[in-house]
Amino acid sequence: DDLSHKTQSSELFTLTYGALVTQLCKDYENDEDVNKQLDKMGYNIGVRLIEDFLARSNVGRCHDFRETADVIAKVAFKMYLGITPSITNWSPAGDEFSLILENNPLVDFVELPDNHSSLIYSNLLCGVQMAVEAKFVQDTLKGDGVTEIRMRFIRRIEDNLPAGEE
């Protein structure tokens, strides 16, 4: 029953995430610290999520970063957020690519106030990736046409986890 799992309307997740960001913005004085927290929380979620993901999908070890990209975009995003980002902009060395999100479910209800211009609202998503650097280079919230997450392969983790997946 690989992909059959309980789902719920993503608005609960989206609203909860929004309330969390609001709270963090109250708690921390600058957006950098909020970004750091979101990144950390995303990482912690990612560590658990990968277990969940591997247990439920039949995805084996990825042999290269291209395969990893496919798994992330077509299986993982689909499974957890119900969307399939497109993969573009491969670097010649094949160690960087971009995920393009036409619409980012995390930002459905959000208007970013001007005074939080350095806040990377969806930073939590970045933490979900492991052993890679993931950062937002375009964001619809900031007026870009699409949301783009740039993924850069850093190194292979030799122990316990398959490299690069999620």
Judged by CB under 8 A, the residue of 35, 72, 85, 105 near other proteins is 105
**HSE of 1, CA atoms in CB hemisphere, 13 A:** 3
Phi-psi category of 156—alpha, beta or left, where left has phi over 0 and alpha has psi -120 to 50?
Answer: beta
78 burial class (0-12, 13-18, 19+ CB within 10 angstroms)? middle
Judged by CB under 8 A, the residue of 2, 30, 44, 157 near other proteins is 44
Binding status of residue 118 toward other proteins by CB under 8 A: no
What part of residues 59-78 is at the interface with other proteins (CB under 8 A)?
A: none
Query: What residue has token string 């690519």?
Result: 97
> x/- string (CB under 8 A) for other proteins, residues 13-32?
xxxxxxxxxxx-xxx-----
Quick one: 114 or 158, whose CB is closer to other proteins?
A: 114
User: How many Å apart are CA 5 and CA 56, to the nearest integer?
Assistant: 9
Binding status of residue 100 toward other proteins by CB under 8 A: no
User: Which residues would be at the binding site for other proteins (CB under 8 A)?
Assistant: 5-23, 25-27, 37, 41, 44-45, 48-49, 52, 79-83, 105, 108-113, 124
